[in-house]
Amino acid sequence: MRIEKCWFCSSSIYPGHGITFVRNDASVFNFCRSKCHKNFKMKRNPRKVRWTKAYRKLAGKELAEDATFELERKRNRPEKYNRETVAKTLKAIGKIAEIRSKRQERFYEKRMNKAKLMEKKAEKVQLEKEIHLIKAPAAINSAKEKLRIRVQEKQTDRMEE
């Protein structure tokens, strides 16, 4: 069993799923669902459609180049079965998956730090523009406080008289 990749969105296609389209020139296109097939027929570019992996990588939202992706590449040369090799490969797959997840987390944190900095800058600009909204209520509160003190003073004066 071979897990194919969707031509349009690059997601996995498991056996018995998806659509295979063959052109007259014998080029084969595999699609994971009708959504991808329809977008292909509409001649849309996967790099410009926001929900595809090609767009996410091009826009810098996912890791584009990483040595851990080398393991997933398709190879057509057969390997002789060896129990030790299989055991080592399975251990390596676990380690590589762990390394990949850590790298993706670091990449995500870097991206989010940039977004947080931009958000803080935008908030500072907004605060500078709308500072009058913050200062005015304080002035109103102090005026109300002064008025309340005057009223109390008048009430005490009346009581004394």
Residue 35 falls inside a structural domain: yes
pLDDT of residue 81: 81
Full domain range(s) for residue 4: 1-61
Number of domains observed in the structure of the chain = 1
Question: Could you tell me which residues are beta bridge partners of residue 31?
Answer: 19
- Asked if 40 and 8 touch (Cβ cutoff 8 Å), the reply is yes
What is the rounded CA–CA span in Å between residue 63 and residue 139?
52
Render pLDDT for 48-60 as a digit per residue (tens, 0 to 9): 999 999 998 888 8
Q: Which residue has the tokens 């993706």?
A: 104
Residue 30 falls inside a structural domain: yes
pTM exceeding the 0.95 threshold for the entire prediction: no
Residue 124 falls inside a structural domain: no
Residue 32 falls inside a structural domain: yes
Please report, for the domain that includes residue 10, its CATH number: 2.30.170.20
Q: How confident is the model at residue 8 (pLDDT cuts 50, 70, 90)?
A: very high
Render pLDDT for 105-151 as a digit per residue (tens, 0 to 9): 998 898 899 889 999 999 999 988 887 777 666 666 777 788 888 88
